[in-house]
Chain A
């Protein structure tokens, strides 16, 4: 029962902390670009403001449009609940493994893209079309990266993966290096960051995520935005806990947990800083160069798997 309590508490904390992560990246990016920028807690204000506003619904919208924010948000929460954050002792982790995690995210995206097409404007369709294009290239790369990790520890269960990797000596596994690189590239594409998509833009011809949610307002928009923040946090957690698994608590002892919480927060802040730097030094690429970017991610992940099978299997 304590395990379940911790799992729910952890999910709540991540859900509540997600806007801070986005705010932190945005604030740091502004600083790096010599702008003053909004404070890191600005996303909370935005969410609160949106959730108090009226919903203005397009006349052509169908029930799918109104259901989608709730489905997208709750599926993302479920995905978060299966990821170990500060401890691997997680009863919920048995509920769904890493393939199911990818499935949850895909389910959310399915409804997000449907919502984009629902109102029947050109923007929504454009955003959905681009989103499914990019994700249909990114998802196989992500699965390949996860499969490499899974084969390394012969388990697709995230808790097992992290605890086995965390207890290993620090050795150079070629497969893990390749698949980590693939994972990072996919994460950038899937969370709509530069160079694939620009979270700050509202220029019609370049946007992807913003185009899909253009018709949303009020609490629906708040949920969609929050889900996007949650997704960024989720991918960040996956990256910091899978690539650098040290520091995640292996037990449920309070001291360990506090220590682990500090370390994981530090790792997340560092990853956010890296993201801000990378977004400052490069520009968004053309949409039709995105396949090359994702193709690279796929090849890296596949290389990781091949090198595991050829070099590391005894």
Chain B
């Protein structure tokens, strides 16, 4: 790539530098976990040290990752730790660098936010030390997953990430529903980890050794490759939260402290996406088109169901968690398209779809973290998480409100913000469907595009609801009317993310040019024409086919706004704006209970898509002297369809298995003895 070549000439570095910086990020994260434990009785200092180091490690990771991505370097290091015959080997290539940048950047903003946010825990029953320890380990685990270059260290880092995040989810353990959510999360993480073991096991069986380089060289028959793909799809999908494996996500993400929710929703899901891309594109290599179809279908289902479930939620953080399911679905749609085009040797379009999916990873990390941080600010100020108690916050928290609005527009996929660009790129890839000349695929890709269009429209509807109910109108409770903008660090982190939402939306050509190195290194083809027409125009296929001039669009909106403003002002004779009460139909003063509620707002959509949910709706008639009560319960159908039967079967099997549980030590020892004998017989 000429551009990367030019950069390398200007900044002469050796290939090892990026990975050295990344390693220092890992060490700093580890330090941020351990060092605060020495100041256990000085919580303020403890949180300061922890978040300072965490922010530093985030910056270092973003620096190292960004360097590997922009300069197209691949650095490798073997650390003399681990098993005697299996050292931990790390590798930082453009793909890992891209995700390391995302994780590092979000970790940095979360660190800016965290020290202000956890102030409310200081002096409470919960230990700050626990929180900072596991936050550091969580970040460290995520960095290591991205850097790992062999299956052994990958799984080790993966489990570190899962376990550390479990302890963060269960941090506020005094509430039973939090413990329940954390248990389900742990269960799903363990099952997902088991699937990954199997996936790597299949690959390791065909290659000599556990290193990724050896696995890449392995020659798998299509059947075995498909088996490995299935395990990897399930294992990574469990962590990424695709439907129907998403059930832990809306439970676990809202109950963690908000800055942790931002990290889990914003970046941990991306780490799972990274694992999936690494496994399928890099380790397996020969993609079969049926895999792409599965990914495309599951992605479409996740996108639509995720946004529909989100529409029905009143708990702000749970709503955002369901939107993560939706956005992971959009990313999987991009990946599915890319895999289909890759398998049918349309590499250029495959690169386009992959770039779109990666771009959406970046965007989702930014706006989802922004929204979770905003929700956290509200939670900290008012201790309210139910939207039905909020309202009118735009006047109490102007900075949070502005940043949150930008997040809402971005996640709804509206121009000129970043969410639009990645969805636009996915649409452009989908519109190339007819070149496949295959009936099934040709029919499936447009349906996926239709699902994506529906998702975007419903997401916009959902975020009108969120913003309208939470920030506009009148306050619906006393706690909300006393909220204020949070501390400086918390405002700063939201502002950084909001500026990024706009920046990555206005200058997409630079982002695409940077990401372009990833398909080049993974499948040998990048997008040749995407930025041919200068930084102003994004032309994914060719200028005749489609173009989007993001800076010009932004400029156009500004200019036309200015013209309207300037030309309409002289028309009025005087400048006064009169204030008056809102129209109350002549029935006396309006109060906050007369506003539309979140439930009422989503009611038409609830009625239209009623077959999606399990809805129990009833009105209890009024007794003497009391008001009638309206009850509405909306449940996830997936839970009943998949998990309740599986749970029942597991319980039954456990009952059967409990017969061998004699309770006698000698019996157990003999079990171990016979197992050992059996294994020896198998091996020898």
Contact = CB atoms under 8 A, between A and B. Distances in A.
Contacts of B560: 74-75, 77-78
Nearest to A102: B453
If over half of B's interface residues share one DSSP class (helix, strand or loop), that class is named, otherwise mixed; here it is helix
A117 interface: yes
A138 B608 CA distance: 13
A144 B596 contact: no
B200 interface: no
23 contacts: A52-B571, A56-B577, A57-B578, A58-B581, A62-B471, A70-B565, A97-B547, A110-B460, A114-B468, A117-B469, A121-B595, A125-B595, A129-B596, A129-B600, A132-B464, A154-B434, A155-B546, A219-B568, A223-B568, A288-B604, A288-B607, A288-B608, A313-B442
A97 B595 contact: no
B582 A52 contact: no
Interface in A55-81: 55-64, 70-71, 73-75, 77-78, 81
Nearest to B398: A63
Contacts of A63: 394
Given A62-B395, A77-B560, A106-B457, 15 more contacts: A73-B564, A106-B456, A107-B415, A110-B464, A117-B472, A118-B473, A120-B392, A121-B582, A138-B457, A140-B450, A143-B449, A157-B547, A222-B568, A309-B433, A309-B443
B52 to A, nearest CB: 36
A247 interface: no
A77 B564 CA distance: 10
Interface string B558-602: 001101110010011100111111111000001010111000111
B469 to A, nearest CB: 7
Contacts of A126: 596
A154 B581 CA distance: 54
Nearest to A314: B437
A24 interface: no
A298 B605 CA distance: 16
B543 interface: yes
Nearest to A115: B472
B585 to A, nearest CB: 8
Contacts of B571: 51-52, 219
Contact of B437 (A58, A64, A313): A313
Contacts of B447: 302
A308 B594 CA distance: 50
B612 interface: no
What are the nearest 3 A-B pairs in CB distance?
A: A125-B596, A117-B468, A120-B473
A150 B431 contact: yes
Interface stretch (B33-41, B154-162, B362-370, B406-414): B406-414
Given A110-B464, A132-B465, A120 B580 contact: no
B427 interface: yes
A197 to B, nearest CB: 14
Contact of A100 (B394, B415, B469): B415
Given A63-B394, A215-B582, A120 B595 contact: yes
Given A121-B583, A139-B457, A215-B583, A57 B577 contact: yes
A119 interface: yes
B548 interface: yes
Interface in B422-441: 424, 427-428, 431, 433-434, 437, 439
Given A100-B424, A129-B600, A305-B446, A154 B564 contact: no
A240 interface: no
Contacts of B420: 100, 103
A128 B553 contact: no
Interface in B526-561: 537, 543-549, 552-553, 556-557, 560-561
B460 A136 contact: yes
A219 B564 CA distance: 11
Contacts of A168: none
A133 B609 CA distance: 11
B360 interface: no
Interface of B: 391-392, 394-395, 405, 409, 412-415, 420, 424, 427-428, 431, 433-434, 437, 439, 442-443, 446-447, 449-450, 453-454, 456-458, 460-461, 463-465, 467-469, 471-474, 537, 543-549, 552-553, 556-557, 560-561, 563-565, 568, 571-573, 576-584, 590, 592, 594-596, 600-605, 607-608
Contacts of B453: 139-140, 143-144
Nearest to B405: A64
Interface residues on A, range: 35 or more
B549 A95 contact: yes
A106 B580 contact: no
Interface in A149-185: 150-151, 154-157, 160
Contacts of B581: 58-59
Contacts of B461: 132-133, 135-136
A32 interface: no
A104 interface: yes
A162 B568 CA distance: 34
B355 to A, nearest CB: 17
Contacts, number: 258
Contacts of A104: 415
A64 B544 CA distance: 38
A25 B230 CA distance: 59
A114 B454 contact: no
Contacts of A124: 596
B594 A114 contact: no
Contacts of B582: 58-61, 119-121, 215
A113 B468 contact: yes
Interface in A255-314: 287-288, 291, 298, 302, 305-306, 308-310, 313
A96 interface: yes
Given A56-B578, A133-B605, A94 B449 contact: no
A129 B604 contact: yes
A256 B596 CA distance: 54
A182 to B, nearest CB: 12
B549 A94 contact: yes
Contact of B544 (A59, A138, A157, A313): A157
Contacts of A137: 457, 608
A155 B457 CA distance: 23
Contact of B590 (A121, A128, A154): A121
Nearest to B417: A107
A125 B468 contact: yes
Nearest to B307: A136
A99 interface: yes
A26 B600 CA distance: 34
Contacts of A78: 553, 556-557, 560
Contact of B537 (A51, A94, A107, A302): A94
B324 to A, nearest CB: 20
Given A104-B415, A107-B409, A71 B561 contact: yes
Nearest to A304: B446
B363 to A, nearest CB: 15
A78 B446 CA distance: 28
A306 B431 CA distance: 13
Nearest to B463: A110
B472 A103 contact: no
B467 A119 contact: no
Contacts of A205: none
Given A119-B473, A121-B582, A121-B595, A291 B464 contact: no
Nearest to A154: B545
Nearest to A142: B453
Nearest to A76: B560
A100 B547 CA distance: 10
